[in-house]
A and B are shown apart, each in its own frame.
Chain A
């Protein structure tokens, strides 16, 4: 199972919106609406930000939104804040009880 493809880095100024992608195949992202996104600050455990493509867990800011088209999922962060600077990983169910993560995107707030 190959890792999902994410851009290595994305940056934006405070208040701006950024969107980055997570590209897989019909065997994972394209085949199931079970894409989730995780934020990871340095030295910390990942934190769930989006599940089932576009749903936010309780407590997660509505500045975070997710979508999917075909084999590519996307995460949008609007109103970028300093605290959003972190690594972001997508994950997808890949059938037969297996999962795959993305390569990760480093978000920098300029």
Chain B
């Protein structure tokens, strides 16, 4: 399967925002749910939320509500995740993952990940 391609590493100061991108195959983009998952250094996976194929409906984990925004751009087959009010606890690798038509309720394939470092 074609793996989503994510944007490069980011370094941000506490209190700032970061906007990450994830570009997928045009063939599947219009019908795929897109999820974001993060992994802090040495820690496990944490589901952040999803954006559905129409780009209108989103669902965020309660922990991130009010601080995360997911959007998608159909012409470029790209989804975005913006996380605001960053703290050191947001330092992590952020992954996007597809939930494709006919392959519901599972994440496959995954992007390569984007390291976000929050440091003063």
Smallest distance from the beta carbon of A77 to chain B beta carbons, Å? Answer: 19
Number of residues on chain B facing chain A (CB within 8 A): 23
Contact partners of A52 in chain B: CB under 8 A? 105-106
Contact partners of B46 in chain A: CB under 8 A? 3, 101
B50 interface residue per 8 A CB criterion:
yes
Contact partners of B112 in chain A: CB under 8 A? 45
Contact partners of A51 in chain B: CB under 8 A? 103, 105-106, 108
B59 and A97 contacting across the interface, CB-CB below 8 Å = yes
Indicate which residue in A36, A100, A104 contacts B107 across the interface (CB closer than 8 Å): A36
CA distance A93 to B47 in the complex (A): 11
CA distance A46 to B1 in the complex (A): 14
A69 interface residue per 8 A CB criterion:
no
Range of interface residues on A (Cβ < 8 Å): 20 to 34
Smallest distance from the beta carbon of B53 to chain A beta carbons, Å? Answer: 13
When A46-B110, A51-B105, A52-B105 are in contact, do A104 and B59 touch as well, CB less than 8 Å? Answer: no
CA distance A48 to B45 in the complex (A): 13
When A45-B112, A97-B50 are in contact, do A36 and B106 touch as well, CB less than 8 Å? Answer: yes
Indicate which residue in A3, A40, A93, A103 contacts B105 across the interface (CB closer than 8 Å): A93
Most buried by A among B46, B47, B50, B95: B47
B interface residue numbers (CB < 8 A to A): 3, 35, 37, 44-47, 50, 59, 61-62, 95, 97, 103, 105-113
